[in-house]
Chains A and B, each alone.
Chain A
């Protein structure tokens, strides 16, 4: 059973527009969430995190929103740039564990 889901395997966005990547989770014990970006032939790079005590966290062009009642989080990238083209992973963990459960990833393509 997949505890962290990213239902869109790919997303294409025009440069300068907003990219919205979505993530859903099933485990109500998850209380901390991360977004990672991964380029080909490189390891994942940490982007932004959010704790369950918040519903929004912002860092530059990246904003993560958390809706605990819906068990849903989203990553907004504004404005999108061609260098943002990568695979984005959502990850979650609960207070009981030391490590994260990852979603399958969404491939974002930002078109010039």
Chain B
């Protein structure tokens, strides 16, 4: 498994401001993702953070609102820009690791999450 840490663990922000969330992994990983879990909802994938290139965003999410950086194989940031109360959510960093003797990378692990409240 991987040890994944996120900063901050929680924050309360004002409408219109931006917050950058950091994700640090204790080993080099190829696949890194950012998820959102809104109150009472399941996990929703925001984007795949690609090392050395632009992130790949899912339908409904755009780079201007959620810019992502991935400078190396152990670190990524997600910025929530121009926040509104609808952005109040838990944001989770996730990595995919190889599992099993066959080298299948389909195991996926999550950080503790960042609880964001926008007032």
Contacts and interface: CB of A to CB of B under 8 A. Distances in A.
Contacts of A42: 112-113
Interface of A: 32, 34, 36, 41-46, 49, 89, 91, 93, 98-100, 102-105
Contact of A99 (B1, B33, B115): B33
Given A43-B92, A104-B41, A32 B106 contact: yes
Interface residues of B, number: 23
Interface stretch (B42-50, B71-79, B80-88): B42-50
B108 to A, nearest CB: 6
Contacts of B92: 43-44
Nearest to A103: B42
B106 A89 contact: no
B107 interface: yes
B31 interface: yes
B102 to A, nearest CB: 10
A44 B109 CA distance: 7
Interface string B41-67: 111110010000000000000000000
A106 to B, nearest CB: 11
